[in-house]
């Protein structure tokens, strides 16, 4: 076993036993799930072998303050139904628009139903996005953490006009939002990855050169901004493949898909992120790729105020 892996394992033990603690008393967990799409809602997919199984696993682990979903949550009404049926109507969910929520790109009775639902959704007390997409781009604070959700299909002409990009219009709003926050920890959320990466277990690679990397100048400007503003991680989906990589000083966590048997090319996945003051840990839970139960398969630290060399990604035994 490599030395840095041993150090990370020791840190996990010390934290779990309470021998060392973060400098801040603030502590919370949030869940990340994406790309479940129509394998949700009432009907034939309302079983533990599909999205409901991921939500049931999140419920069984307990303690999540809220869930963020980086896109492809079509039909929105079905995904919301599964979440509220399992976690309760008071549970907080932050949906983020993906390409399948664009008019005519999803499971809709009428083109635009998903977008209309997102615009009517009650996100709670959030900061609105730019005038072209004030509801589907937003930011909010939870304890000492700032979250930014981006509509990557928004430009000055409207909220569903690009094929996934960070154009000047969206970039300038993001600059202003990040400049205005005083929170020490920041997460940015969007549907498409900046760096499409193969699934950590199966090696499958999807959407390379057709995600944010399709527009390299804008992608690189976006990533440089995240680094300059001290963003901890960019949370995304789109590829259906789970990965956690660090590019420069910023992590990219692709939450994969949470549709169970709806995609057997990679195990169904959700991610838990634990914020414990200065220490931020992530855990990836995956099923067996056959609609079975979820178990912790990967874990690591996004931030830790200790003298070990990071990043370290731990792979748990299946």
Condensed to tens digits (0 to 9), the pLDDT of residues 52-94 reads: 999 999 999 999 999 999 999 999 999 999 999 999 999 999 9
* 316 in a structural domain: no
Q: What percent of the chain has pLDDT over 90?
A: 85
* DSSP annotation of 155: B
Domain of 222, in residue numbers: 25-303
CATH classification at residue 265 = 3.60.21.10
Contacts of 41 by beta carbon, 8 Å cutoff, 6+ apart: 75, 77, 78, 79, 81, 82
Q: Does 4 score more than 70 pLDDT?
A: no
| pLDDT (0 to 100) of residue 184 | 94
pLDDT band at 39 (very low <50, low <70, confident <90, very high): very high
Looking at the DSSP bridge assignments, the partners of residue 280 are 275, 303
Contacts of 146 by beta carbon, 8 Å cutoff, 6+ apart: 139, 140, 178, 181, 183, 185, 186, 187
Give the tokens for residue 202: 């199966």
pLDDT band at 304 (very low <50, low <70, confident <90, very high): confident
Interatomic CA distance for residues 54 and 84, integer angstroms: 13
- Backbone torsions φ then ψ of 53, nearest 5 degrees: -65, -40
* 120 in a structural domain: yes
Average pLDDT, the chain: 90
* 118 in a structural domain: yes
* 96 in a structural domain: yes
With 0-12 / 13-18 / 19 or more C-beta atoms within 10 angstroms meaning exposed / middle / buried, residue 172 is exposed
| pLDDT (0 to 100) of residue 306 | 60
* 317 in a structural domain: no
Give the tokens for residue 212: 């944010």
* 126 in a structural domain: yes
Section 195-206 average pLDDT: 96
Residue among 301, 258, 245 at smallest CA distance from 58: 258
Interatomic CA distance for residues 69 and 76, integer angstroms: 11
- Backbone torsions φ then ψ of 207, nearest 5 degrees: 65, 25
Q: Is 61 helix (H, G, I), strand (E, B) or coil?
A: helix
Q: Is 243 helix (H, G, I), strand (E, B) or coil?
A: strand
Interatomic CA distance for residues 186 and 119, integer angstroms: 24
- Among the residue ranges 3-17, 166-180, 228-242, 283-297, the one predicted with the least confidence is 3-17
Total domains present in the chain: 1
């Amino acid at each position: 076993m490599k030395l840095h892996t041993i150090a990370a394992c020791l840190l996990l033990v010390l934290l779990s036993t309470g021998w060392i603690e973060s400098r801040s008393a603030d502590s919370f967990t949030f869940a990340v799930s994406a790309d479940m799409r129509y394998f949700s809602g009432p009907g034939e997919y309302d079983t533990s072998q599909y999205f409901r199984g991921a939500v049931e696993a999140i419920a069984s682990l307990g303690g999540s303050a809220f869930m963020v979903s980086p896109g492809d949550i079509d039909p929105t009404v079905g995904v919301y139904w599964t979440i509220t049926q399992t976690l309760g109507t008071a549970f907080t969910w932050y949906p983020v628009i993906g390409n399948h929520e664009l008019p005519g790109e999803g499971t809709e009775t009428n083109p635009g139903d998903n977008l209309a639902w997102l615009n009517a959704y009650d996100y709670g007390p959030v900061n609105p996005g730019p005038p072209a997409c004030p509801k589907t781009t937003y930011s909010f604070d939870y304890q000492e953490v700032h979250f930014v959700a981006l509509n990557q299909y928004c430009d000055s002409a409207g909220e569903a006009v690009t094929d996934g990009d960070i154009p000047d219009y969206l970039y300038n709003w993001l600059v202003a939002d990040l400049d205005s926050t005083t929170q020490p920890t920041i997460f940015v959320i969007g549907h498409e990855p900046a760096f499409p990466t193969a699934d950590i277990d199966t090696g499958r690679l999807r959407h390379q050169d057709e995600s944010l990397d399709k527009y390299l100048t804008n992608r690189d400007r976006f990533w440089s901004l995240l680094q300059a503003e001290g963003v901890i991680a960019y949370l995304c989906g789109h590829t259906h493949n789970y990965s956690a990589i660090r590019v420069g000083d910023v992590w990219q966590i692709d939450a994969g898909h949470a549709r169970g048997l709806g995609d057997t090319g990679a195990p169904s996945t959700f991610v838990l992120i634990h914020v414990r003051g200065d220490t931020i840990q992530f855990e990836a839970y995956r099923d067996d790729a056959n609609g079975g139960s979820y178990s912790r398969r990967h874990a690591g630290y996004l931030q830790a105020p200790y003298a070990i060399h990071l990043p370290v990604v731990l792979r748990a035994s299946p």
